[in-house]
Chain A
């Protein structure tokens, strides 16, 4: 799997950088921190059929951190849900590729952008699969900052009570949120223990380690009969040294020289 997902992650980073440059958009740091998570998911974990985006037996992915739209669209394009050439329209007048994740894009399950909405929806999807006796799984990628939203913890509580072992949350734990570090604003530590206390099975891992991500996403639920969370330690802006751990790159878009430097750093061709 790592043979395919590693180069995919590089392509996703390159797309996101180019899209953010061209549309003068924000949130490149948030995109780069989840590039490896998305690459592993789309390289082979998610059971999907790009020719039939609404295939009933498909796995569901809800990207709750809807501001990281660019890299999700890039992953969907790489997976064949939309033309790669369309990525150039990201954020432009009349484009369907809006700055926050929108369901009008083929392959997108849920429109997001207001934080704290995704996990309850993914919980509902998992409940539907459970009641139907279906084999598909429900995945949800969350930011760390959005765990400040109480609605997430309503779903964390409910999902374990309902025994939704087909629900997998992935926290992109890059330690930064809108105004600064998570530690300074509303510290989540010890995050894994919070989920354990809610009876969730927990994988705590490096969110840029493809082998570790793949192993966690293919393992049986660590807590049988309960949902699973990947507390994925990541670096905001991962892969571009001058963007890493820099709050500014939550907001700033690269200029031409910065784009060239960033593409060179990640090894994009």
Chain B
């Protein structure tokens, strides 16, 4: 989804010369297409995420909409206070565009595992947080985040994710999308792990269980209406995220349920400390969590 998102960004920025892309020296073989097409709107600031975020604030205070680009933890956690004070407190039109969310760089080790970013970014004021599942969601959400002209975090996976929605599917910022309709359990997923939710629904169907599958491309604001609806129409809910289960998407869904007075059978599928320090491919690491269908069956 990385390539499709940069293509979408390049097209948008070409039509909107106020948009600037900053990178902290990452994006080799990805950002060149933007840099070559729009050199006046591009700046590689070097390996300095704190300064990049401050520079983004300065540009935004001077009339620009700015994208800051790097790998998951670097433009978010490394410069968290700059994001908090300089961007969010000032309510500036800066979109943090992170690649390698979750375990996309699984074999590179924990420094490159982006597994706390969504929860932390979603705590910040004025923010929108988007975690697209596929290229269609990513390329559709990006212009909407820019149009919003406020702080945003767009968390991408890597390159090569399959499209899970037909091209052209509308993906408005905010609402969840239902991809499958069942009645035994609702699988609520954010990010590319949606693919595992769909596969699990197929596996469950083979054993006579029907699952609904929802994609939550946006987790802030959270589509609580769909969460309530899913709880009223299914006896069980399983959330899926390639992120820590502490304080992430699943926790926000649980909070929404409790606040609505709803108590379906509930579990969270996501990263736990069992994976801390372990390396491997993205798929292998996720396999270590056990299959989604097994987690679903355990709820039923």
Query: Could you tell me which A residues sit within 8 Å of B by CB distance?
Result: 56, 60, 103, 109-114, 116-129, 131-132, 138, 150-151, 154-155, 157-158, 161-162
Contact = CB atoms under 8 A, between A and B. Distances in A.
- Residue of B48, B56, B62, B86 most packed against chain A (CB within 10 A): B62
A56 B54 contact: no
Interface residues of B, number: 27
Nearest to A138: B58
Classify the interface of chain A: helix, strand, loop or mixed: helix
B61 A124 contact: yes
A123 B52 CA distance: 10
Contacts of A111: 85, 89-90
Interface string B46-86: 10101111111111111110000000000000000110011
A127 B90 contact: no
Nearest 4 A/B pairs, CB to CB: A124-B58, A120-B54, A128-B62, A154-B51
Contacts of A138: 58
A118 B50 CA distance: 11
B90 to A, nearest CB: 6
Given A126-B58, A128-B59, A120 B53 contact: yes
Interface string B23-66: 00000000000000000100101101011111111111111100
A114 B85 contact: yes
A27 B61 CA distance: 28
Contacts of B85: 111-114, 117
Max chain B CB contacts within 10 Å: which of A117, A118, A157? A117
Contacts of A112: 85
B62 A124 contact: yes
B297 to A, nearest CB: 49
Contact of A121 (B46, B81, B86): B86
Contact of B43 (A103, A109, A120, A127): A127
A266 to B, nearest CB: 33
Given A124-B54, A124-B57, A157 B62 contact: no
B82 to A, nearest CB: 6
Contacts of B55: 120-121, 123-124, 127, 155, 158
Contacts of A116: 50
Given A56-B63, A117-B85, A117-B86, A154 B50 contact: yes
A118 B64 CA distance: 18
8 contacts: A111-B89, A121-B61, A122-B58, A124-B55, A128-B58, A154-B50, A154-B51, A155-B55
**A110, A111, A132: residue with the most chain B Cβ atoms closer than 10 Å:** A110
B51 A125 contact: no
A110 B90 contact: yes
Nearest to B84: A114
Contact of A114 (B40, B46, B59, B81): B81
Contact of A120 (B46, B58, B62): B58
B68 to A, nearest CB: 11
A199 to B, nearest CB: 14
Contacts of B58: 120-128, 138
Contacts of A151: 50-51, 54, 82
Nearest to B20: A131
A134 to B, nearest CB: 9
A150 B89 CA distance: 22
B62 A158 contact: no
Contacts of A110: 57, 61, 86, 90
A157 B46 CA distance: 10
Contact of A129 (B46, B62, B86, B89): B62
Interface string B256-273: 000000000000000000
